[in-house]
Structures are given as C-alpha cells and as structure tokens.
Amino acid sequence: MSDLVLDSINSFPDQSLSAWQESSVLKFPDSYRQISNILVCGMGGSRFTPLTIKHLFSQEIKLPYEIIDDYFLPNYAHEHSLVVLSSYSGTTEEVISCANQAKARNCRIVQVSTKPIIDVPGYIFDPTQFNPSQQPRLGNGYLLFAHLGLLYSLNLIDLNPKQILNSIQFARKISLTRTLTTQAKNLAKQLKDSYPFIVCAEFLKGFANGFANQLNENSKMISDFHYLSELNHHLLEGLSRPETLQQNGLFIFFNSYFYSPQIRKRLFLTQEVVSKQKIKTIIISLAGPDKLSQVLEAFLISGLTTYYLAKIYGVDPINIPWVNFFKSKLSSLVKS
C-alpha cells in the first residue's frame, strides 16, 4: 500500500490553506454580483465538500444554497442563478450535463476543478503538491476551501478571514500529534467487520456524508449516515431486524458542545435507545475551539481512520475496481 495516501491525508491542512489563499481573492465580473440563488453541482467528494459548507455556514451564507447531485438543474434555475460546477477531475458526467443546461439558461457559472470544465471563471487548482495520491477523495481540503473561498470572493458569505486561518492552523497542529493517530487506529479496530452508522447533526451533517463515502472507497466497506434529530422519527424502530445487527451494527455519534441544547439531549438519549437494543455505540467528542475547527478535526479523524482500516483489511485505498468497472461498462453502453 502506497504511503502516498497517508501523505495526502496528512496534507489536508496544506490543501486547505492553499485553496483558501487562492480562491478567496478571485475577481469576477460585476454581473456575478447580481444573483438570487446558488446551485452547486457535484458528485462524490465534489458534492459532500460543498454540502459541508452549506451546513457549516448556514447562518452566514446570504442566499439560498442548494446541492444538485443529478443530471438536471431545477426548473427555477435562471439568469440570476449562480451555478457552481464542482468536479475535481473536470470530467464528471452529471456536472457537465448541468453545465450545458446552465449555459442554455444564461445562468452565471463558476467552476471548481483541477482542469477547466467549460470556459467560465472559477478556481482551477494544481493538486500535485499536496495530494500526491492524485485521488480526488483525498483532496478534500482543496474542495472545502475552494467553495468557501468562492463564496467569500463573491461577497456571498459573512465571515472573518482571520478565523479561517486560525481554524486551519488548529487542524495543522492536531494533525502532527500522536493522539490523533492513536484515536484513528483505535476507531479503525472498532470498525472492523461492522456495519457503521455515522450520526451527526447541524453543522456536521456534510461531514457525516463524507465519512460514509470515505469508508466506502478507502476501506471498501459498507456504511451509512444519519442526522439528528431526523433519525429519531423513524430509525429507532428499525433496529430489531435483521438480528445480525446486534453482532455487527455500530453507531458512531459525533458530539459537539456547539450543538444546540436540544440536539445534545437527543444525542445521549438516542445512544441509550440504541444500546438498549444491544447494538454497540461510540461517542466521539470533538475538541476544536469553533465549528470550523471541529469540522476539520472530524475530517482528519475520518481520513486517518479509513486509511488504517484499509491496512487492517489489507486492501489498497487507492484502487477502486468496482467503480472503474462501472464507468467502463457505462461508457461502452453509451457508445453502443
């Protein structure tokens, strides 16, 4: 297994700083100031990163901010919509489809990618320095802060740039500690041969999606994610079957002192209900001094955990044979 994966994970703070410094100072034509809503088109890692921004900065983003994970823009996309094309590779089929529709509707369009998707302004970044694995899912720092920087450069978000730098510095500091590595290794051991449910709330919702994706691709295992308080309205009654859930089910709750009081009460009560049904639970309490720091802390934990879990299973986190098979088969079907 290549250490390039570990190098990319450990470079998460460098990716973040590079993307923020470059994307937050971009200049756009005046027409890009005259918008009424924001539509971000992306899949996989190019989707859960702007989703993270959406939930993390829900009180700071000035306009409706929606994630489009489909081939089609919604009917309400128009000339005053800002369509953000998010594709690490620049070749994502669904994003290209949305790009063509956005052009046809005269939407304002920007892009986040490693190479131009279409001829529009945006943030085109070179990932070679801080993502030596060259895997899009290991370039989360670039994508997270590219989307945040775009919003800032277009004056679509209220935030303090100094606080952004402080949070990235916090991530850099903890990424160098043995404590983080030990935590990730221990969590990987607990995850082995389990069916994990990642449970988060409020500003961590996008991260929950991201952790589940990383488990799929890096560790080659099934995973699921749910949100508090939504899961309280249905999931608790679904834990009786299959009975094997008592042997391999594992609920991982990410806790934060920045959660609202209502959510914190629900988290511990939910853990109690799950435990009463003889399903294993873990609570991970994040320690960052602010919400952004805790999101970065969570992504560092998940990245390292999925890496060490891949090592336990003896699988290559870079290789994605079934996704590649699917893409090849799909391409042949399109051509036929």
Q: How many CB atoms lie within 10 A of CB 238?
A: 9
Cα atoms in the 13 Å half-sphere on the side-chain side of 179: 6
pLDDT band for position 82 (cuts 50, 70, 90)? very high
Residues 239-254 pLDDT 10s:
999 999 999 999 999 9
% of residues, the chain, pLDDT over 70: 99
For range 215-242, the mean pLDDT: 98
Is the pLDDT score of 145 beyond 80?
yes
* pLDDT at res. 335: 73
For range 58-62, the mean pLDDT: 98
Domains 4-159 and 178-313 share a fold: yes
Q: By C-alpha distance, which of 42, 5, 30, 56 is closest to 217?
A: 5
% of residues, the chain, pLDDT over 90: 96
294 membership: H or E segment, kind and range: helix 291-313
* pLDDT at res. 234: 98
* pLDDT at res. 336: 62
Residues 90-111 pLDDT 10s:
999 999 999 999 999 999 999 9
In degrees, rounded to 5, the angle at the alpha carbon of residue 8 between the alpha carbons of residues 7 and 9 is 95
In order of 10, 142, 182, 207, 310, the CA distances from 130 in angstroms are: 9, 9, 23, 21, 21
Q: By C-alpha distance, which of 119, 146, 243, 251 is closest to 191?
A: 251
Is the pLDDT score of 73 beyond 60?
yes
| Domain locations along the chain | 4-159, 178-313
Q: What are phi and psi of 240, to 5 degrees?
A: -80, -25
* pLDDT at res. 2: 58
- 178-313 is classed CATH 3.30.420.60: no
Quote the DSSP letter at residue 30.
G
Domain 4-159, second-level architecture: 3-Layer(aba) Sandwich (3.40)
* pLDDT at res. 1: 44
